Amino acid sequence: MRTTIKFIAGALLLGGLMAGQAFATAAPTFSIVDTSKTKTINLSATSSSDRFDVAIPTNFSLSGVKTGSFLSLSSAASLAFTFVGEEAGYNNVFGAIKFKPLDVGLFSNNASTPGATSFTFSNVAAGQLNFGFLSNAMASMFYGNGSTSIGLKLSADKQSALLMFNDSYKRDRDYDDMVVKVSILTAVPEPETYALMLGGLALLGAVARRNRKQA
């Protein structure tokens, strides 16, 4: 009987460890989901017209930027939103929200420092992210994830993405009026992984206690 219990406990513990290993190797990533409004554009930091005037973070380029697409997260993770820079004369605002539990973060052009101003969310659910820009250049209009006024660009490892806002003032198309980087900080393990490991450890502990009593 004790051998059977040990076998079951070992199997549960091994299952939890294997699930944890699979979880560790399948790191969450960002992806861009195209729509019927999607366009691919190439921005330039040297062009005489519609020049991109914000310093680009490492691991990003200005080619192949998607507009009218949605930014999506493959699996639950903790995220950081960081202000990269702005070219706009207007004080635009960036904001994001997550649910379960509810959390909201925001910052504006005028009150932010590039690379320093940020906020984080823990345990963000997989799927399309909930974020947007409030344009004070266009009668305080709000533009959310999927808008043609937001350019999206993934890093090479898909662990971060640039959110590039164009407030349409002067009808330019440079997508540098406010730029934000969102980065994956940590993955969030599935509850089943912990349950398997805890179940195995509990059974092994029970067997050990029983052996001590019989000794």
Q: Which residue has the tokens 């409004």?
A: 37
Average confidence (pLDDT) over 99-115: 94
Rounded to 10 deg, the angle between the 2-25 and 191-214 helix axes is: 150
3-state secondary structure of 136: coil
Classify residue 213 as exposed, middle or buried by CB count within 10 Å of its CB (0-12, 13-18, 19+): exposed
Q: What is the pLDDT of residues 130-153, one digit of tens each?
A: 999 999 865 678 999 999 999 999
Residues in the chain: 215
At 169, the pLDDT band (50, 70, 90 cuts) reads low
pLDDT of the residue at 191: 54
CB 97 within 8 A of CB 130: yes
Interatomic CA distance for residues 208 and 37, integer angstroms: 62
- 8-43 exposure pattern, b = at least 16 Cβ within 10 A, e = fewer: ebeebbebbeebbeebeeeebbbebeeeeebeeeeb
The model's pTM is 0.77
Residues 6+ apart with CB under 8 A from 190: 19, 23
For residue 200, the Cα-to-chain-centroid distance in whole angstroms is: 33
Per residue, the 3-state secondary structure of 86-106, as one string, reads CCCCCCCEEEEEECCCCEEEE
At 168, the pLDDT band (50, 70, 90 cuts) reads confident
Q: What is the pLDDT of residues 53-97, one digit of tens each?
A: 999 999 999 999 999 999 999 999 999 999 999 998 789 999 999
Percent pLDDT > 90 in the chain is 60
Residues 6+ apart with CB under 8 A from 174: 43, 50, 51, 52, 53, 87, 166
Average confidence (pLDDT) over 123-129: 97
Amino acid at 136: N
